Amino acid sequence: MLSNDCLFCKIIEGKIPSSKVYEDDKMLVFKDIEPKAKVHLLAIAKTHFKLLSEADEKGQELVKYMLFKIPEIAKQNGLANGYRLIINQGDDAGQTVFHLHIHILGGETLPW
Ligand code: 5GP
Ligand code: ZN
């Protein structure tokens, strides 16, 4: 299920443009608009939930699917030398978009 007032749901629906690098029936991967590394991608599931703690059984399956699909997508995007995954959860983590997303960062030696 998608949400009407969610930025990433609008990206899934094509109502807001994005630079897509991978898409299938379960997930979408696109370039972060404000990259924090040479390569900065965002992986999202095609269903709306904010936090891991809010994922139902289908959401949990989708997170697992994304995690194990990401190595393939990373390789296709020049990240054979390694990359970092980040999933911000809530305010203290600085989560700004409330649709669960996995940051994929790489393309250089990361500073920390
Ligand atoms: P968070 O801080 O919630 O973990 O990450 C949200 C990310 O979404 C940020 O890195 C931000 O740059 C990215 N972002 C915000 N709005 C847009 C947008 O409209 N398009 C794209 N491609 N990325 C966005
Ligand atoms: Zn959403």
pLDDT tens digit sequence for 38-65: 999 999 999 999 999 999 999 999 999 9
Q: Which of 40, 48, 101, 103 is catalytic?
A: 101
CA-86 nearest atom, ligand 1: 4
Taking the CA of 12 as reference, the closest ligand is: 2
Judge if the beta carbon of residue 91 lies within 6 A of ligand 1: no
CA distance 75 to 50: 27
**Has this prediction a pTM greater than 0.95?**
yes
- Mean pLDDT of all residues belonging to the chain: 97
Q: Are strands 27-31 and 20-23 parallel, antiparallel or unpaired?
A: antiparallel
Per-residue confidence (pLDDT) for residue 112, from 0 to 100: 84
- Please name every residue paired with 39 in a beta bridge, in sequence order, or none if there are none: 106
Active-site annotation holds for 103 = no
